[in-house]
Amino acid sequence: MTQAATRSLFDSLVFDNRFLRELPADPEPDNYRRQVYQACYSFVNPTPVPQPRLVAHSEELAAELGFSPDMCASDEFCAIFAGNRLLPGMQGYACCYGGHQFGHWAGQLGDGRVVNLGELVNKDGAYYTLQLKGAGLTPYSRSADGLAVLRSSIREFICSEAMHHLGVPTTRALTVIGSGQPVRRDMFYDGNPEWEPGAIVCRVAPSFTRFGSFQIFTARNDAATLKQLVDYTIRRDFPHLGEPGPETYRAWFEEVCRKTAELIVHWQRVGFVHGVMNTDNMSILGLTIDFGPYGWLENYDPNWTPNTTDAQGRRYRYGHQPKIAYWNLVQLANALLPIIPSVESLQQALDTCYGEAFDQGWRKMMASKLGLREYLEQSDTSLLDDTLMIDDLSQLLQNCETDMTLFYRGLADISPHTPAADFLAWFSACCYLNLSVAQRHSAKVWLQRYQQRLRHDPLTLEARKTLMHSVNPLYTPRNYLAQLVIDEAASGDFGMLREWLRVLRHPYTEQPGRERFAAKRPDWAKHRAGCSMLSCSS
């Protein structure tokens, strides 16, 4: 394809980089590691790679952004999202932000291996920031190399696209590009680094602004830049709240709290464990952001975290995510004190717009997962108290090492009249343990409570099953399947990756012939590296 033809092919794309136009830039043009003050970003271009190869792309997202099939099939498409070429209107930059990591202030962090390409405006007038992860050194790289490896890039691509189709608020992934460049990584921080295939992911979101984007300026007593960023964020991403001002600031923080509550409810619903909920990994838009050492609950365990760095304290374990989100919002509230000096109004937003909103959302979500029209509390009889029933269920699932996804999906087939023997046979098949007599008894007792509750619920069997199948997925990005895909991809075989992506586009629909993508974790994967625990190394 000639250069002129290529230019014509991509001429329809429009970039309008408001972030760069309206916020202060780092005045230093050179790309070297440093502390950046009174600036929201630094100009930097991606580092070209030697042999880019398209591993996978999201057809739906490409179409939404305005990339035609011909564009996606071109060599130029691969070159652009490898970082080897910029389109007219693109401008490379890396963002400055800070954050609390594992509960401690870490100072300046920033886009250490991310280069933003600019803001693409699609045919509907929607803005999307495109960024390349693994695109080389930036002023925020600290002691790292700015690169990423194929295994983590595939994991990020799979999970972000799966989350979208699961209905979980998330950033997206447009492409995974193999770089043709080996990258040295010590996967388990045990002094045994290895060379791995390198890769770049193109991540997409309306905005990648984080809690830490605001924290850095307050930590440096830079109230002027803080206000600039808040005002820009409100005008750009929350225009319905009106022009920035004292009342709008409060309304904005309240909305951030609500969006965060909604996000965490979704995480708990599908069994997603982020693994590294630092404040720099929390989106101001309530999106799932920064897929690092994440994982999915296979056997139900509220104390599980996939992150080896967090193995001892388990700060970011599944059952603790709602409290961590609140703690992170408190840190954001502290950062906003220069423009919202009322501690009382901030606390009220935390208590009501996050605390109460999460509780209400969680109860509604759990009622749906169990096939109930509404969540009942403080009933005259304990048999109809959903809090007690769910507490008992949580303990049962944990004690029996029950596959969370398969249990809730199959529960739709349990009716008020299902015999206990049939229930126990099905329940046993969902568990990773051989059930003891006591465990089988506990399961039978819970069944009796659940069936009693169903008899007092007005939903028909058909309506109940439809409701449950709309919130309980059959297909999730299971940890061991991700590792199998990575193993094949490392040898240059991307067939399983592409097939699995097709399955994950319809996670609530049974797909005959693809049962293996919904199967329980095999025994060999329980403790295998990449299937149970992961490090932050990528």
Compute the distance between CA of residue 159 and CA of residue 168 in angstroms, rounded to an integer: 11
Rounded alpha-carbon distances, angstroms, from residue 484 to 91, 309, 344: 37, 23, 51
For the chain, helix (H) and strand (E) counts, in that order, are 19, 12
Cα gap 188→204, rounded to integer Å: 29
Q: How far is CA 265 from the centre of its chain?
A: 13
| Beta strand extents in 88-171 (DSSP E only) | 93-95, 98-101, 104-108, 114-121, 127-133
Q: Is 222 a catalytic residue?
A: no
96-122 burial code (b ≥16 CB/10 A, e <16): bbbbbbeeeeeebbbbbbbbbbbbbbe
The span from the CA of 378 to the CA of 348, in Å, is: 26
Question: What distance in Å separates the CA atoms of residue 531 and residue 295, rounded to the nearest whole number?
Answer: 9
Place of tokens 């619920």: 457
Whose structure tokens read 């950062």? 335
Per-residue tokens: 162: 């799966």
Those residues whose C-beta lies under 8 Å from the C-beta of residue 490, and which sit 6 or more positions away, are 150, 151, 196, 197
Two tokens at 193? 């680094």
Other CB atoms within 10 Å distance of the CB of residue 357: 20
In single-letter form, the type of residue at position 79 comes to A
Bridge partner list, 100 = 105
Strands (E), 49-88: 53-57
For residues 78 and 200, is the Cβ–Cβ distance under 8 A? no
Which of 231, 280, 310, 403 is catalytic? The answer is 280
Strand, helix or coil for residue 133: strand
Which of the residues are catalytic? 280
